[in-house]
Structure 1
Amino acid sequence: MERDNINALMEKTEQWILPELETVFTSEEAEDITVKAALYSLYAGGKRLRPLMMYLTSDMLKLDFDIDADVKYFAATLEMLHTYSLIHDDLPALDNDDLRRGKPTCHKAFGEGIAVLAGDLLLNKAMERLFLMCEKHPGYIYAASAMAENSGISGMLGGQSIDIASEDKEISLDLLTELQRKKTGAFIEAAVVTPYYLSTLMKRSDSIKDETASDLRKLAEHIGLAFQIKDDILDVTSDSKTLGKSTGKDARDSKATFVTLLGLKGAKKRLEDESDCIKVILDKFDNNGFDTTDYRTLTDFLVNRNR
């Protein structure tokens, strides 16, 4: 995989999503200290993986260009939800991190109280945006509700809950996998499936039996696990300067990871297994006439990255 290819995809995604993010708050609202803190984290950059995966799903499935603006709207909303989760995750009461995306975390830059409010603000604003879009397009209600569900107790928040409850405890590989499917994987699932839900005006009852929706959810699950396993590996093999965030904290905080449960060699083998599962699903899309080149570029990067 050529790094230039993934860099080009990430740059394209940043150019695609940034104008939408810039519309989230008015110039008057942006004068408020809580909004400034929210924007500090929202504009901090990072890989923009979730918007990128929305873009790639739309491109792979050759979805109607007319919905591009709506996909972008949902992508920005998901990035807000993801950023809120990071702000809160970094707080002293949770992971107590000082560094995120190469910059001081929100609570280090603005104080704990404002950081809590900034996360709350992004969550509140994201839900407001989902309601407004459903008012405009009632057919998008399942896509919106599924995204909200992915942020709640059956998704990201549920993963955080398991994570906190499991501190200083020995947990099984199955529970760790469930934790990461929710904490990391839920928003990745939202990114991968939302464009398809939008294009088909998917209903909840239809999503259960729809083969493409099922394949996309499986793809998201394996991408999410591969991403997290690689993160766990980098946490013990890399450094803060390279990653742009603290390293070695899971071990210091006695948190279970794929490395602590499987060992470094075992975690690398599990990463290979997840990568193979991703390739099988992408092969199926290829066989159905879809171009998975860019998705393969992304997944190769996630598995082989050093940051």
Structure 2
Amino acid sequence: MQKYQNFYEEYVPKIEYTMDQALLKLAAPTCLLEAMRYSVNAGGKRLRPIMTLAIYQAFGGEINEDIIQIACAVELIHTYSLIHDDLPAMDNDDFRRGKLTNHKKFGEAQAILAGDGLLTLAFSWIAESKIDDTSKIKLMTSLAHNAGPIGMVGGQVSDMLGNELNYSHEQLVAVHNLKTGALISYAALAGGILAQVSEDIEQELKMFGLNYGLAFQIEDDILDVNDSVDVEKNTYPHLLGMVGAQKELATIINQTQQSLTTIASMQSFDYELVAGLLSYFERKND
């Protein structure tokens, strides 16, 4: 996994620098930019843009500043979703990553507008890039699909409705495939679109990202229990028990890895680099 670790350590600073510099160049109200930059620069794993870049490079793509900014578009949407999730009308959180949430720092109206700004800016970054028009259209269409009402936003609605319901296993998987998996699936697909892979490989990348997102959510639920948080309903430990949730996680990780094996059998591909993304799950749930 050392190849991926080296890649991660090289490109996370570039991702963060690219986003901040692009935001600083915007001719937007200072108070709005401050709120947008506050959440964008609040940290995080940068998993989504890293996934796009790793997959693009794995297919032989050469990463430059333009490609990095395209990859960062999904991070803007992820950040906007967190700002809105934290609002009083949603999760009503005061802190995120150890810092005041955006609305606690800047007020609700400014937080809403900061999220709106990040959402729309994401599509500008793709549209104004130097890649070919066909790839631009595919990226923007896929991002709108996966971030919108039949993707992440729809998943957030189902998640909220779940406060009054007890979801079955099938329903819980469906919710998280939208809420968490949709943007990660896009991130994987985007790397393939940029590398101009075949439609068959695009489908495998979508499945890789979807399964990765589901594993990510199961892992998160397990870690919440390990951190002495009450086992809430509509989580995998609540539905399957801790042992069952851990078995489910292992199964999904295996399926995620199988997608990479399939891709490697279809086209020359740096399997080692992308498989390093799975190192996130290499920890003991104790």
TM-score, normalised via structure 1 length: 0.83
Count how many residue pairs are aligned between Structure 1 and Structure 2.
283
Contact 2:51 2:191 (8 Å CA) reproduced: no
**1:44 match: secondary structure:** coil
Q: Does 1:88 align with 2:84?
A: yes
Matches within 5 A, 1:282-297: 282-287=260-265, 288-297=267-276
Q: Does 1:231 align with 2:211?
A: no
Q: In the alignment, what sits opposite 1:138?
A: 133
Q: Does 1:35 align with 2:33?
A: yes
Matches within 5 A, 1:129-278: 129-133=125-129, 137-139=132-134, 140-200=136-196, 210-238=199-227, 248=230, 251=232, 255-278=233-256
Counterpart of 1:259, as a letter, is P
Q: In the alignment, what sits opposite 1:243?
A: none
Counterpart of 1:118, as a letter, is A
Give the Å deviation of 1:305: 7.4
Give the Å deviation of 1:148: 1.6
Contact 1:271 1:303 (8 Å CA) reproduced: no
TM-score, normalised via structure 2 length: 0.89
Deviates more, 1:257-266 or 1:5-14: 5-14
**1:47 match: secondary structure:** coil
**2:278 match: secondary structure:** helix
Deviations 1:214-258 (A, max 9, x none): 11111111111100100011111126xxxxxxx55x72xxx5111
Unaligned runs of 5+ in 2: none
* Counterpart-to-counterpart distance in 2, 1:72 and 1:189: 18
Q: In the alignment, what sits opposite 1:279?
A: 257
Give the Å deviation of 1:6: 6.0
Counterpart of 1:215, as a letter, is E
Deviations 1:80-133 (A, max 9, x none): 111000111111211222222232221222222221111111112223333334
Distance 1:296 1:102, change over 3 A: farther
* Counterpart-to-counterpart distance in 1, 2:117 and 2:261: 41
Q: In the alignment, what sits opposite 1:16?
A: 14
Q: CA RMSD in A?
A: 2.4
Distance 1:34 1:234, change over 3 A: same
Distance 1:170 1:28, change over 3 A: closer
Give the Å deviation of 1:276: 0.9
Q: In the alignment, what sits opposite 1:113?
A: 109
Counterpart of 1:282, as a letter, is L
* Counterpart-to-counterpart distance in 2, 1:270 and 1:94: 29
* Counterpart-to-counterpart distance in 1, 2:182 and 2:88: 23
* Counterpart-to-counterpart distance in 1, 2:176 and 2:122: 23
Distance 1:221 1:31, change over 3 A: same
Match of residue 123, structure 1, among 109, 119, 140: 119
Unaligned runs of 5+ in 1: 240-246
